[in-house]
């Protein structure tokens, strides 16, 4: 054997003239078929037991699946019993079709028909592998050999259906398993033969399922194969083209999407991509990809956390934190520029009243999948000023003025570096509280009164009060100005505090318990030329401003 990469045989592109799929767009949902209970289940360390399968089945029904592959009933007693319980326990709604998988082998097909007795709607899904490799190493036969297996299987299925006395509505699905590893003209050939044997018609079409059983090529090649197949199958009207992508190269969803462009009508896959090896096509991702393009996926993804809980419990599989749409971290931004843009996007949505979702870095509204905005922005030492401001506003109702963001962000970053980790919102608030709300009060107001008076047709604001300095005896304050801040500055001038220059202020209401209070953000220039912010909170807006000035001075003198 050759060493390293040289031992692999490169996948051969097929020759497809004038391919059309690159110009197409996905505009509607395909027919979905969940194979969680079969392909997903057969790949588990411990396959689901009866209770788990039944719960999972109901979950799929509730999401809106109308076709569900429930298992391989001829494979084992457990699989058979689960199939019987679904039917006899009346778990299957009338508008849902159960699908059962079987190899194209006589005894297994007969057992399968027994297993589905009494069901209202059934798809008998039979398969045999047709790929070049499997013909060579598994079946040790040629194309005629595998075609014979398929035709015999199809004929038996037709015969058993014709002989069936119940009122089950049977449909058929055939998979040339390992389709993508089969010469495409051979895949067309065997499917033409299967259709003839089944007697497929426009009124009673067969599902031709084209599995990318092992993903071995780029998604464009799978799309080419599907387009070729569709253009060459003899009786196109009498078949529904179905996809069954796997994810060996990590592009299962992409393969499915491009093959839909190539004309397929139906998609088989699993929730969160469970399945053999690296999994099957992830229906949640594919469906939500459509959703975010304004296409109704016709499946309910509105409570992904609940789906995740059921999925993890029944399969004992874990979801990766980066898994699209459901991973723990997918609605979280740590980096500053992302946080800033998300913050601005949210503000834009609020201010503009846009009808569309227009938030950078968030391709979907977390609320649409039952997730919350809360954990969107998380704060670590890589976070920028926008992120901390977002959490202060979103979680605690403090809309820090933009000019204050750099000052607060520095305090947050220092704390993250001290702790060597991210800060949860509560800790972020503690940074705010320690640095603004609980600072040492060198100057503390003990009494204050602010009132307006008119003199000679002009309005003046008076500030009168008492203050302690470093806890010593109270001093009296009195000042007049054109507003409360001006009056207060005039009152504290005599202590040399006019060395601080007033720069800006902003204010908003904040609810604390049942009270509504005003919070003021005051920016002063210190004698060293640097600016500093202070915060004042009071039920009186004027008092809040004065407290903000004093808070800034106290912070400057710490």
Ligand X SMILES: CC(C)C(=O)C(=O)O
Ligand Y SMILES: CC(=O)SCCNC(=O)CCNC(=O)[C@H](O)C(C)(C)COP(=O)(O)OP(=O)(O)OC[C@H]1O[C@@H](n2cnc3c(N)ncnc32)[C@H](O)[C@@H]1OP(=O)(O)O
Query: With binding defined as CB under 6 A, does residue 244 bind ligand X?
Result: yes
State yes or no: 107 annotated in a binding site.
no
Judged by beta carbon distances under 5 to 8 A according to partner kind, the member of ligand X, ligand Y, none in contact with residue 480 is: none
Residue 231 buriedness (CB in 10 A; 0-12 / 13-18 / 19+)? middle
Residue 209 interacts with, from ligand Y, ligand X, none (CB under 5-8 Å by kind) = ligand X
In the complex, minimum distance from the CB of residue 220 to ligand X, in angstroms, rounded to a whole number: 20
**149 binding ligand Y? (CB under 6 A):** yes
CB 53 to ligand X: min, Å:
17
Shortest Cβ 341–ligand Y spacing (Å): 44
110 binds ligand Y (CB under 6 A): no
The torsion angles phi and psi of 132, rounded to 5 degrees, stand at: -55, -45
User: Between 359 and 398, how does the x/- string for binding to ligand Y read (CB under 6 A)?
Assistant: ----------------------------------------
First-last CA distance in the chain: 75
- C-beta of 67 vs 69, nearer to ligand Y: 69
- The distance of closest approach from Cβ of residue 209 to ligand X in the complex, given in angstroms and rounded to an integer, is 5
Q: Which does 175 bind (CB under 5 to 8 A by kind): ligand X, ligand Y, none?
A: ligand X
Which phi and psi angles does 157 have, rounded to 5°?
Answer: -60, -45
β-partners of residue 465 are: 448, 477
Q: How far is the CB of 71 from ligand X (least distance, A)?
A: 12
| Distance between CA atoms of residues 530 and 513, nearest Å | 36
Query: CB of 72: closest distance to ligand Y in angstroms?
Result: 5
User: From ligand Y, ligand X, none, which one binds at residue 548 (CB under 5 to 8 Å depending on kind)?
Assistant: none
Q: How far is the CB of 276 from ligand Y (least distance, A)?
A: 6
Q: Is 232 annotated as a binding residue?
A: no
Q: Is 415 in the site for ligand X (CB under 6 A)?
A: no
The region of 104-112, 305-313, 363-371, 528-536 touching ligand Y under the rule CB under 6 A is 104-112
Considering only 175, 180, 182, 545, the residue that binds ligand X (CB under 6 A) is 175
Residues contacting residue 458 through CB under 8 Å, at least 6 positions apart: none
| C-alpha 411, offset from chain centre | 32
Does the footprint of ligand X cover residue 41 (CB under 6 A)? no
**Residue 506: φ, ψ to 5°:** -145, 165
122 contacts 171 by C-beta, under 8 angstroms = yes
In sequence order, the β-bridge partners of residue 35 are: none
Q: Is 128 in the site for ligand X (CB under 6 A)?
A: no
Least distance between ligand Y and beta carbon 108 (Å): 6
Q: Is residue 211 near ligand X by the rule CB under 6 A?
A: yes
Contact 216, 180 (CB under 8 A): yes
Helix, strand, coil tally for the chain in percent (to 5):
45, 20, 35
Distant-in-sequence, close-in-space partners of 78: CB < 8 Å, separation ≥ 6: 47, 49, 50
The H helix count followed by the E strand count for the chain is 17, 14
Q: How far is residue 109 from each of residues 83, 144, 147, 479, measured CA to CA in Å?
A: 15, 21, 17, 98
Q: With CB cut-offs between 5 and 8 Å by kind, which of ligand Y, ligand X, none does residue 139 bind?
A: ligand Y
Residue 388, φ and ψ in degrees, nearest 5: -60, -40
In angstroms, what is the minimal distance from the CB of 211 to ligand X? 3
DSSP state of 39: I
Is residue 125 marked as binding?
no
Given 36, 39, 224, 407, the residue binding ligand X (CB under 6 A): 39
Indicate which of ligand X, ligand Y, none lies near residue 128 (CB less than 5 to 8 Å, by partner kind): ligand Y
Please tell me whether residue 315 binds ligand X under the rule CB under 6 A.
no
Structure tokens at 253: 């969803």
* CA pair distance 160, 64, nearest whole angstrom: 30
Does residue number 103 form part of the binding site for ligand X (CB under 6 A)? Answer: no
Which residue lies nearer to ligand Y by CB, 177 or 523?
Answer: 177
Using the minimum distance from each CB to ligand Y, give the nearer residue, 211 or 387.
211
Q: Is 200 in the site for ligand Y (CB under 6 A)?
A: no
219 binds, among ligand Y, ligand X, none (CB under 5 to 8 A by kind): none
> Given CA atoms 250, 252, 254, 258 in this order, what sign does their dihedral have?
positive
Task: Give the residue with the Cβ less far from ligand Y, 128 or 413.
Answer: 128
Is 280 a known ligand-binding residue? yes
Residues 6+ apart with CB under 8 A from 395: 374, 425, 428, 429
60 or 487: whose CB is closer to ligand X?
60
Q: Is 279 in the site for ligand X (CB under 6 A)?
A: no
Encoded tokens for 298: 């016709």
E strands along 482-514, which residues?
A: 501-512
Query: Which residue positions form the known binding site for Mg(2+)?
Result: 39, 244, 246, 280
């Amino acid at each position: 054997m050759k060493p390293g990469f040289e031992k692999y045989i490169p996948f051969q592109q097929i020759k497809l003239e004038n391919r059309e799929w690159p110009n197409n767009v996905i505009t509607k949902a395909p027919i979905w078929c969940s194979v969680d209970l079969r392909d997903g289940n057969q790949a588990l360390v411990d396959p689901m037991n009866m209770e788990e399968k039944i719960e999972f089945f109901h979950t799929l029904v509730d999401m809106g699946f109308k076709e569900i592959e429930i298992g391989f009933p001829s494979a084992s007693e457990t699989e058979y019993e689960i199939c019987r319980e679904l039917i006899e326990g009346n778990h299957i709604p009338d508008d849902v079709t159960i699908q059962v998988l079987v190899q194209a082998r006589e005894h297994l097909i007969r057992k399968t028909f027994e297993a589905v007795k009494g069901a209202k709607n059934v798809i008998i899904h039979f398969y045999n592998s047709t790929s070049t490799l499997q013909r060579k190493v598994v079946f040790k036969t040629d194309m005629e050999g595998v075609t014979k297996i398929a035709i015999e299987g199809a004929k038996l299925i037709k015969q058993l259906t014709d002989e069936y006395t119940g009122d089950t509505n049977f449909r058929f699905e055939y998979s040339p398993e390992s389709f993508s590893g089969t010469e495409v003209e051979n895949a067309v050939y065997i499917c033409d033969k299967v259709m003839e044997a089944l007697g497929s018609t426009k009124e009673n079409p067969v599902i031709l399922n084209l599995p990318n059983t092992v993903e071995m090529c780029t998604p464009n090649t799978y799309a080419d194969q599907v387009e070729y197949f569709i253009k060459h199958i003899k009786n196109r009207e009498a078949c529904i083209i179905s996809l069954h992508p796997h994810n060996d190269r990590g592009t299962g969803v992409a393969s499915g999407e491009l093959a839909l462009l190539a004309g397929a009508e139906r998609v088989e896959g699993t929730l969160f991509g469970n399945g053999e090896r690296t999994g099957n096509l992830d229906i949640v991702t594919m469906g939500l990809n459509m959703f975010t393009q304004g296409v109704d996926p016709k499946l309910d993804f509105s409570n992904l956390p609940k789906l995740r809980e059921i999925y993890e419990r029944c399969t004992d599989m874990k979801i990766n934190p980066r898994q699209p749409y459901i991973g723990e971290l997918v609605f979280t931004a740590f980096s500053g520029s992302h946080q800033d843009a998300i913050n601005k996007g949210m503000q834009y949505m609020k201010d503009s009243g846009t009808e569309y979702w227009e938030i950078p870095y968030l391709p979907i509204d977390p609320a649409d999948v039952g997730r919350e905005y809360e954990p969107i922005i998380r704060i670590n030492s890589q976070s920028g000023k926008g992120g901390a401001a977002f959490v202060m506003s979103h979680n605690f109702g403090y809309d820090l003025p933009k000019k204050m963001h750099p000052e607060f962000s520095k305090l947050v970053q220092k704390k993250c570096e001290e702790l060597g980790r991210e800060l949860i919102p509560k800790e972020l608030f503690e940074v705010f509280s320690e640095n603004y709300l609980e600072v040492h009060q060198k100057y503390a107001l003990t009494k204050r009164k602010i009132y307006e008076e008119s003199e000679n047709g002009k309005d003046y604001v008076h500030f009168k009060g008492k203050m302690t300095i470093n806890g010593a005896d109270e001093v009296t304050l009195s000042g007049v100005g054109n507003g409360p801040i001006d009056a207060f500055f005039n009152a504290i001038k005599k202590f040399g505090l006019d060395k601080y220059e007033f720069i800006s202020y902003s204010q908003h209401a904040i609810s604390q318990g049942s009270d509504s209070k005003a919070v003021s953000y005051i920016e002063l220039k210190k004698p060293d030329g640097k600016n500093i912010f202070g915060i004042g909170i009071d039920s009186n807006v004027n008092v809040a401003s004065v407290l903000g000035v004093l808070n800034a001075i106290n912070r400057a003198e710490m």
